[in-house]
Amino acid sequence: MAPPTTIRSRNQALAPLATLDSKTDCQLKELVQWECQFKGADYICSPFKRLFEHCIAPDKSATNYEVTDTYTNS
């Protein structure tokens, strides 16, 4: 099982990142989840993208922030 990830809005996620110094290493990560519904004899599945900012501080601690917004899946 994956470690828990803090779920925050885009503004909440970007605020702590602004306090990190320029030596912090951050990467944008994407996760695609599928939402499936059973209709008759078929399954209808739709992808749903989630975006995370994965940051590693100079002390080697890692933090993941979800930065998915309403426009990510439009």
What's the confidence (pLDDT) of residue 68? 87
Give 8-64 pLDDT, tens digit per residue. 776 766 665 555 555 567 889 999 999 899 999 999 999 999 999 888 877 777 888
Does any domain span residue 49?
A: yes
What's the confidence (pLDDT) of residue 45? 93
Contact indicator for 34, 48 with CB cutoff of 8 Å: yes
Does any domain span residue 3?
A: no
Q: Which domain holds residue 53?
A: 10-66
Please tell me the total count of domains within the chain.
1
Give 4-15 pLDDT, tens digit per residue. 776 777 676 666
Rounded distance, CA 13 to CA 9, Å? 6
Global confidence as pTM: 0.56
Contact indicator for 54, 62 with CB cutoff of 8 Å: yes
Does any domain span residue 54?
A: yes
What's the confidence (pLDDT) of residue 34? 92
What's the confidence (pLDDT) of residue 19? 58
Does any domain span residue 56?
A: yes
Residue whose C-alpha is closest to residue 55's, from 14, 11, 7, 10 = 14
